[in-house]
């Protein structure tokens, strides 16, 4: 863990008056991960910087952030519980937390920037011992390195935005910092998803995705699995490996069926390797969580710039024995089957299902709040989230693009992301969190099975 000295902390508020009042949240805002999600950016020293103007970096960020919080004013507010495991957003313009820090470390000390606990001091900490109505929805930390480089990290509440909306905000903030106007104005009215409205119908479809995922055979709960230490690795997947996996998945596929995508292929392969690494029995049930963006799957599509959570998780189910013994296309087919369920009718049926629930607590992932309740996608399950279509890279506040961007530390077994490799066209990265006892076995199976 590298030493970081904290120089100051302030609240950045909207640059001009914004609407004040209670904003209803949609059902998608209030289930799954409702804690904060970190991202981190590293920048080399810019020719525009000098020691005499070091404060200008912070001033530029804070001034443009203040202006960004006018159109994106919900981020300057606070959440509050309203009973029955439900939340609403108090748009009160209290502001977001901005932290300044410095370290004697150099950017080169990070090597290949593999996420690890060494990042912890560079990411703003959320004090979950405080009541939820006291927690900022966005925390930003600017850390200066002795080499002149900087780290910019953000921790943003998943109860307010999903990945698409978070990156929309961040990219618009950067545009404002460079002197440009907004490219896409955020659409803030969550009533397009009937936010805050009472139930009007029972669900029309079944929704097994809201059931708790399978347990390890012989266990009655997830308490012990949640306690086991985890580690994070980023596996580089060159383009030729991506193509080889697609060939494996599509080998023998009936010509009447559409070829499996790189997400379906790679995710199916990860699922198989996880079963092998964890040494599951053939009869072990296992679930794979797939995160789907519903914006363009609804009729009509959600308005451009919809600012909130519009993603939902669906579940692919199988047994370890089937996944390991059958061709890769079997795993890919299970994933496609789950994805194709998400239609306009399915989204509204799922919303009706949640609106009819007396309490939403059991659908909420409260790991960071110290709870052992809520869904657990660790052993024997996992979740694979795609960031392949998100505008992740090239965040320029006026001093050039980052040299590295990625997820912050995450320590939940089975939590994984697929990202584009910014250094290779067509290459991918797999950011995987796994129990320590299984990580090396996973890597061995992952690469050996491709080679042979």
Domains in the chain (CATH in brackets) are 5-193 (3.30.559.10), 211-451 (3.30.559.10)
> Would you give the distance in Å from CA 186 to the centre of its chain?
20
Give the other-Cβ count within 10 Å of 59's Cβ.
11
Give the tens place of pLDDT for each residue, 338-368.
999 999 999 999 999 999 999 999 898 765 5
pLDDT over 50 at 123, yes or no: yes
Give the tens place of pLDDT for each residue, 32-76.
889 999 999 999 987 766 544 557 899 999 999 999 999 999 999
pLDDT at site 54: 57
Just list the catalytic residues.
158, 396
Give the tens place of pLDDT for each residue, 98-112.
999 999 888 888 777
- CB-based burial label for 229 (10 Å; 0-12, 13-18, 19+): exposed
Residue 115: which pLDDT band, with cuts at 50, 70 and 90?
Answer: low
pLDDT at site 52: 41
Which tokens is 418 given? 């697929």
What does each C-alpha distance from 317 to 286, 289, 324 come to in angstroms? 6, 9, 14
What does each C-alpha distance from 212 to 138, 208, 282, 374 come to in angstroms? 30, 9, 21, 8
- Give the mean pLDDT of 192-202: 93
- Give the mean pLDDT of 249-263: 89
């Amino acid at each position: 863990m590298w030493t970081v000295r904290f120089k100051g902390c302030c609240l950045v508020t909207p640059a001009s008056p914004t609407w004040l009042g209670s904003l209803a949240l949609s059902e998608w805002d209030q289930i799954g991960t409702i804690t904060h999600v970190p991202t981190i950016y590293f920048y080399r020293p810019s020719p525009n910087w000098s020691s005499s103007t070091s404060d200008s970096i912070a001033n530029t960020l804070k001034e443009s952030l203040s202006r960004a919080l006018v159109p994106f004013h919900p981020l300057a507010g606070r959440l509050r519980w309203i009973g029955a495991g439900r939340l609403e957003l108090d748009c009160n313009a209290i502001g977001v937390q901005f932290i300044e820090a410095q370290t004697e470390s150099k950017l080169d000390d990070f090597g290949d920037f593999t996420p690890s606990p060494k990042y912890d001091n560079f990411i703003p900490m959320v004090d979950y011992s405080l009541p939820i109505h006291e927690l900022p929805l966005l925390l930003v930390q600017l850390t200066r390195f002795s080499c002149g480089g900087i780290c910019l990290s953000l921790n943003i509440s998943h109860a307010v935005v999903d990945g698409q909306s978070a990156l929309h905000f961040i990219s618009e903030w950067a545009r404002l910092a460079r002197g440009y106007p907004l490219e896409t104005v955020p659409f803030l009215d969550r009533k397009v998803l009937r936010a805050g409205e009472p139930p009007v119908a029972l669900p029309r479809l079944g929704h097994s995705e809201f059931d708790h995922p399978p347990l390890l055979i012989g266990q009655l709960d997830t308490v012990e699995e949640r306690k086991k230490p985890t580690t994070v690795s980023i596996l580089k997947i060159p383009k030729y490996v991506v193509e080889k996996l697609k060939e494996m998945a599509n080998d023998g596929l009936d010509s009447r069926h559409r070829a499996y995508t790189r997400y379906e292929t790679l995710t199916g392969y990860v699922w198989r390797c996880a079963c092998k690494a964890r040494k599951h029995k053939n009869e072990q049930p296992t679930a794979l969580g797939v995160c789907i963006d519903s914006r363009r799957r609804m009729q009509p599509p959600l308005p451009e710039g919809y600012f909130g959570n519009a993603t939902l998780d669906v579940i692919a189910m199988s047994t370890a024995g089937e996944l390991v013994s059958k061709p890769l296309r079997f795993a890919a087919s299970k994933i496609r089957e789950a994805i194709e369920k998400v239609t306009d009718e399915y989204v509204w049926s799922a919303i009706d299902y949640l609106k009819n629930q007396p309490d939403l607590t059991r659908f909420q992932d409260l790991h960071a709040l110290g709870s052992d309740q809520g869904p657990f996608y660790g052993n024997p399950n996992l979740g694979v989230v795609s960031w392949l279509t998100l505008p992740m890279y090239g965040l320029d506040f006026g001093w050039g693009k980052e040299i590295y961007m990625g997820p912050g530390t995450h320590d939940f077994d089975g939590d994984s992301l697929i990202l584009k490799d910014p250094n290779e066209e067509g290459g991918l990265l797999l950011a995987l969190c796994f129990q320590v006892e299984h990580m090396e076995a996973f890597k061995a199976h992952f690469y050996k099975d491709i080679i042979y």
